[in-house]
Amino acid sequence: MLLVITGFTLAHSLTLALAALNVVTLSSRIVEPAIAASIIFVAAENFRREDKSWHRYAITCGFGLIHGFGFASALRASGLGGSGGFVAMQLLAFNLGVETGQLVVAAVLLPFIFILNKSPSFRRLGVRLISAFVTAIAVHWLIQRIANSGE
Question: Does 85 score more than 70 pLDDT?
Answer: no
| pLDDT score, position 9 | 83
Residue 92 φ/ψ region, left for φ over 0, alpha for ψ in the -120 to 50 degree band, beta for the rest:
alpha
Question: Does 142 score more than 90 pLDDT?
Answer: yes
User: What's the pTM?
Assistant: 0.78
Q: Are 103 and 6 in contact (CB under 8 A)?
A: no
Question: Does 87 score more than 90 pLDDT?
Answer: no
| pLDDT score, position 4 | 78
Q: Are 10 and 62 in contact (CB under 8 A)?
A: no
Question: Does 84 score more than 60 pLDDT?
Answer: no
Q: What number is the average pLDDT over the span 74-87?
A: 66
| pLDDT score, position 82 | 57
| pLDDT score, position 75 | 73
